[in-house]
Amino acid sequence: MTEAAKTPAKNTRTLTGRVVSDKMDKTVTVLVERQVMHPVIGKVVNRTKKYHAHNENNDAKMGDKVVIEECRPISATKTWKVARVAERARPE
């Protein structure tokens, strides 16, 4: 059996978004923006949704661009965790 066949396939969903709040301990709020076509008008519209994501080491800060991945439910509202920080926010 090959090495790739031994490890199970990872089919977790990932999303990319901006951290809009880091005031909670080990939790960040991530705003994910996507573009969809309006069914009647045919115009491209922006849709946004906020997710609470588990941030174990509190390394993601406000304004950072992060990749979150789906995981088991950690609390009533947290079913995502921060996979990595894609881009740091510019210090002002």
The mean pLDDT value for 70-82 works out to: 96
**pTM of the full predicted structure?**
0.83
Q: What is the CATH number of the domain that holds 80?
A: 2.40.50.140
Extract the tokens encoding 51.
């997710």
Identify the helix (H) or strand (E) that includes residue 5. Answer: helix 3-6
The answer to the question of residue 92 being in a domain is no
pLDDT at 59 over 60: yes
Nearest residue to 30 via CA among 45, 40, 15, 43:
15
Q: Give the mean model confidence (pLDDT) for residues 9-14.
A: 80
Looking at the structure of the chain, the number of domains it has is: 1
19 burial (CB, 10 Å; 0-12 / 13-18 / 19+) is: buried
Domain span at 41: 3-87
Q: Residues 44-65: what's their mean pLDDT?
A: 96
Average pLDDT along the chain: 91
Looking from the CA of 27 toward its CB, the CA atoms found within 13 Å total: 13
